[in-house]
Amino acid sequence: MSPSTSPSTTSDEPGPDAAAVPTAVPAAAPAQAPARRWRWLILALVVQLGLVGVAVAPQLQARFTGQEYRLRVAPIDPIDPFRGAYVALSYPDLPTSESMARDLAADPGTLSEAPSVGGHVRFVPLIRSGEVWRGAGVQRTRPDSGPYLTCRDRGWQLRCGIESWFVPQDRAAAIERAVGSGHAIAVVRIDSSGDAAIVDLLTDEG
């Protein structure tokens, strides 16, 4: 009688010689990602430069194409040496917030104006007074003829783009004295649209 043969058994576990299954490796980040980030960064810089250009374009146009007018100035802040000889100026012959409110109160169109974040556009006609010019009120509509200033009504202040001036360090002390004593004249260029830019600040001391 032949010996009985045991039935073969199978196992679900792979043997030691079974081929190893390769492990999936995470795909590397796309090579385009850094380039995409750079494109967005460049785009953001271009937009910012464009906004700066829009902000300074009116003053640049006035500086190169405007006619010169002289306005008396008065100080708001003294020259601050930590800000590079910067002086903030006011103009005693231009409308104040109080006179502006009176002028605009007489214009019925003012009441229907919607609020404006940057301030409503106002126009200040200029008339000659000796060697200098002074404002002749504030109005909502553009004058038919010049000269005039195009300004922004911030409620508490009328800003016409000529409220600050940087001076050389060697002239800072003289200009500070002259502005403080009321003996300073701003030479302002105003173009046909009423945009303005300071081109010089004259004093008795030169």
d(CA 104, CA 36): 52
Give pLDDT, residue 91: 93
Tokens of 38: 């750079």
pLDDT tens-digit readout, 73-120:
987 666 555 555 677 888 999 998 888 888 888 777 776 666 676 788
pLDDT tens-digit readout, 155-197:
777 899 998 888 777 777 777 777 777 788 999 999 999 999 9
Give pLDDT, residue 150: 94
Residue count of the chain? 206
Sign of CA dihedral 176, 60, 96, 92: positive
Average pLDDT, the chain: 75
CB burial class (10 A; 0-12, 13-18, 19+) of residue 33? exposed
Give pLDDT, residue 176: 76
| Residue, of 109 and 44, whose pLDDT is higher | 109
Count of helices and strands (H, E) across the chain: 3, 10
165: which strand partners? 87
d(CA 156, CA 96): 9
